[in-house]
Amino acid sequence: MTHEINLGLYKMNTAFEPIKIGNFTLPNRFIMGSMHLGVEGETGTAERMAAFYGRRFEANVGLIVTGGISVNEEGKGSRTFFNIQVPEHAAELKKMNDLLAGKGNMCAQLFHAGRYAFDRGCVAPSAIRAPINRYIPRALTEEECWKTIEDFGIAARIAREVGFGSVEIMGSEGYLLNQFFSPVTNHRDDYFGGDAKRRMNMSIEVLRSVRKNLPEGFPVIFRMSGIDLIPGNATFEEVCLLAQTLRDEKVSALNIGIGWHESRIPTISQLVPRGAWASTASRIKEKTPGIPIIASNRVNDPSTMQRIFDSNQADIISMARPFLADANIVNKFKNGMSNRINTCIACNQACLDHAFQEKSVSCIVNPEAVNELSFPTKPAKNSKKVVVIGTGPAGLEAARASAVLGHKVILLEKSDKLGGQFQLASHIPGKTEFKETIRFFSNELPALGVDLRLNTTATIELLEELNPDAVIFASGVKPREFSLPGLENLPSGNYTDYLTGKFKPGKKVAVIGGGGIGVDVAHKLTEDHDPTFESYDKKYNISSYTNVVIQPHKANRDVAIFRRNGKHGAGLGPTTFWALKQELESAGVEFYHGLNYKEVTKEGLKVELKNGDEFIYPCDSLILCVGQEKETSLYEEFTSKYPQKQVILIGGAKDAKGIDAKRAFLEGLEAAHAI
């Protein structure tokens, strides 16, 4: 999946032509879209935010949209939101902008959560509870609607006063203004509800209020929903009417959002084809000439960006998570270095999962993101010889970061491929994105001068010969041994055997172990291909626009996942597992938990339920996904023989229980900075 780009082809590329948004000239066709960093709503975070945003500005991003900044107290989505009308919060934002002065255009997203606010005092157009919120909102009175409109205007004025160079009105993703426009959540019969024209009045009046409080030409972007992806959502004709009206009201650009948070349709995970939603922006662009249209969602690589521009689907591309993964993505694209882009793999584990848990956001493949102050890239005072053993996520990041810090790095890998557990995971449908991470390190490490030695088994003799100043053991994990009476009665293999092609399962498979690996294996068993535009549309009926829902389908295998205790999919992120489980259920996968394994007969797997009942699941093969054990034999031998050497143990080799890539990459970065 390497994307080689000839620089000569891109000298006149649309992607790098300037474009005006209001009175601001964007130097290229990319902006960094809104994304919470998880540190908002607190004082003392200006330096951390400025360090993160500043690095992106320095990498040729001309405009960056903040995470949502609430226009009043009831509009806060959670405690990790600024309320711009609170003086302390406004002062923190001013401090951030002062630190960023002259670097680029910082855009304040003016935000109101509506019924998505996780607070008893949440408000909405009508008193209809959101499926993802336990609280029933209070319906705003007409007078309160006008007060909220005024608050948007006040927020815009304050945003300019504290140094923002543009604003974006949040009217998408199921938040307040989107709720007013939707017939599902707006059952009013006053000026702000009824037919489509009255349902859009809240958005139009907010835009007017914002523009009234800003100088002529000050850039005002409106993020509107291109499609809500919930039953009964507004029609495409109504969406276009809103877009045309916003244009006529002199908004500077339209940023096309996709889906509500309560939607059961994945829109940004690995289950979504790259650039799948640019077509929605394109349809709105066709109906709304005369205004810049911004596309977003699942755009993470140069080939997708180029396709969007070549087909004129949008004027500007908004990316958020890709700038977490690689601050320099725009420059690398422009300069023909796409093979060195650290691609966003759409896992959501350290970004969206953290944001919704009110934790500090980062990125699993780039743990420096939002942690720039904790991991400065200035060279170490003393360059050392560092040997890293293992090229799973922990070892790869340890080698990269050590080289960036100026150390001489030798990276040892016993197989002929980089990646470790990432290499295995890349065989799962959708998770082929992991190959991009392996591609990045395959190109980045040699460019940084790392001495990469594949097909090299680390031994005590080799380490003695190399005589390093420090050794980082990222020797990883191996499948846990598992025995069960009668296992020999049916063909079986562990997950490594299956994912590497050594074991070929039959047509009726029992997966023993229902953690993250077991669920991923079941996904591959029932759908052995990456999502395409065609398969995605067919699976979710996307082209219907108003009747988007997952379609049941028969897989080419019967699969059941068994787990002794706990929830299936443990270890997979909450913003992605629901969609995967939904797909597995639609393919007929059965889930069993709260049981004991008894034996394997020639007929199938016999289990005992907690109530004492026994049953046999008829199957012709089994795949064992029962966990991993750490591989530390060389570490123990080396530390025993050379206790004076600096030795660091990381990743699965440090703790195999619950190992995930997020922890592994972070430990690799921490190890490099500990040398």
Residue that the structure tokens 């609170």 belong to: 86
Which are the contacts of 458, defined by CB distance < 8 A and separation ≥ 6?
A: 387, 389, 412, 414, 475, 634
Q: At 329, list the tokens.
A: 């993505």
Residue 669, CA distances (Å) to 47, 217, 476, 559, 647 in order: 21, 44, 16, 39, 15
As a whole number of angstroms, the distance between CA 318 and CA 340 comes to 21
pLDDT of residue 7: 38
Residue that the structure tokens 């806060």 belong to: 76
pLDDT of residue 529: 86
- Secondary structure (H, E, C), 1-14: CCCCCCHHHHCCCH
pLDDT of residue 658: 66
Residue 64, CA distances (Å) to 58, 88, 168, 624 in order: 12, 22, 10, 46
As a whole number of angstroms, the distance between CA 167 and CA 222 comes to 9
Residue that the structure tokens 């001489």 belong to: 408
pLDDT of residue 12: 42
What is residue 494's three-state secondary structure? strand
Q: Which residues of the chain have pLDDT under 70?
A: 1-12, 658
Least Cα distance to 166 among 43, 287, 62 occurs for 62
Q: What is the pLDDT of residues 16-62, one digit of tens each?
A: 999 999 999 999 999 999 999 999 998 999 999 999 999 999 999 99
pLDDT of residue 8: 38
DSSP states along 246-309: HHHTT-SEEEEEE--TT-SS-SSSTTS-TTTTHHHHHHHHHHSTTS-EEE-SS--SHHHHHHHH
Q: Which residues are catalytic?
A: 175
As a whole number of angstroms, the distance between CA 4 and CA 8 comes to 12
Element (H, E) at 527: none
Look at the pTM and tell me if it is higher than 0.85: yes
The bridge status of strand 614-618 relative to strand 604-609 is antiparallel
Ordered strands of the 604-609 beta sheet: 595-600, 604-609, 614-618
Count Cβ atoms within 10 A of the Cβ of residue 14 and give its class: 0-12 exposed, 13-18 middle, 19 or more buried.
Answer: middle
